[in-house]
Amino acid sequence: MRTVHFKALSVMALLAVFLTGCSESEEQVTEKPAPVHFESGDECHVCGMIITSFDGPKGQAITAREQETRKFCSTRDMFSWVLQPENAKRDHTLYVHDMAQTNWESPDDTALIDARDAFFVVGSKRTGAMGPTLASFASESSAVKFAKEFGGEVVKFEDVTMDHLTQDMSQTMSGHNMEMGNHDGNH
C-alpha cells in the first residue's frame, strides 16, 4: 500500500513539474509587437525634437515589460539610448527604416524593419537629425552599395558601439570648426 501511495505521489510530482515547464515556456514565447507609425507631433525620446521634421532613418524601441514605445528622430539617437548601461541588457523590440526601400528625405513607415537584423552604415556623408546618423538597411548588399556611394563603414547591429556614435560627432565637429576657421581667416 505504501509503495502504491509513493508511486502515485511520484507520478503527481513529475506531472506537476512537466506542466510547470510547459506553462513557463508558453509564457516566455511572446509575440513581437508591431512597429508604430511616426506621427507629425511625435517628439524624440532623447532630444525632444519633432521626429518628422528631419531627414534620414528613424528608430523605435518598444519595451518588453510595459509595451511602451519610445521614438527617436534618428538611428543615432536610438543607439545612444539603447547602448546606455541601464538599457543595454533590457529586452527591447527595436525598429529602424530600411533605407533601400524608402527615400532619405521622408522615410515611409511601411519600410520599418527589425533593427537587430539590420546592417548600418556609420560615418557616411548623409545626415539625419542634428547631423550624423547611421543609415539602416535590411540587407548587407544594400548597405555596401550605400557606403560605396556616400562613404562609411558597414556594421551589424551587435557591433555598433558608443565609439561609432562619438566618432561621427567628432568628425562633424572637426569639419564644422574647419569651415568656421575658413570664414574668419584662420587656416
Structural domains counted in the chain: 1
Residues of the chain with pLDDT under 50: 5-6, 9, 11, 13-27, 29, 170-187
CB under 8 A, 24+ apart: contacts of 81-90: 81/45, 81/46, 83/160, 83/161, 83/162, 83/165, 87/61, 90/63, 90/64
Q: What is the pLDDT of residue 75?
A: 97
Provide the pLDDT for residue 30.
Answer: 65
Distance CA(160)–CA(81), nearest Å, equals 12
Distance CA 88, CA 185 (A): 45
Q: Within a domain: residue 30?
A: no
**Paired residues of 93 in beta bridges:** 62
Q: Is 82 inside any structural domain?
A: yes
Q: Please report the pLDDT score of residue 67 as a whole number.
A: 87
Task: Tell me, yes or no, whether 166 lies in a domain.
Answer: yes
**Does residue 156 belong to any structural domain of this protein?**
yes
Tell me whether residue 93 is in a domain.
yes
Residue 10 falls within a domain, yes or no? Answer: no
Find all residues with CB under 8 Å of 185, minimum gap 6, and list them. none
Tell me what pLDDT residue 97 has. 98
Q: With respect to residue 78, please indicate whether it lies within any of the assigned structural domains.
A: yes
- Domain containing 111 equals 51-180
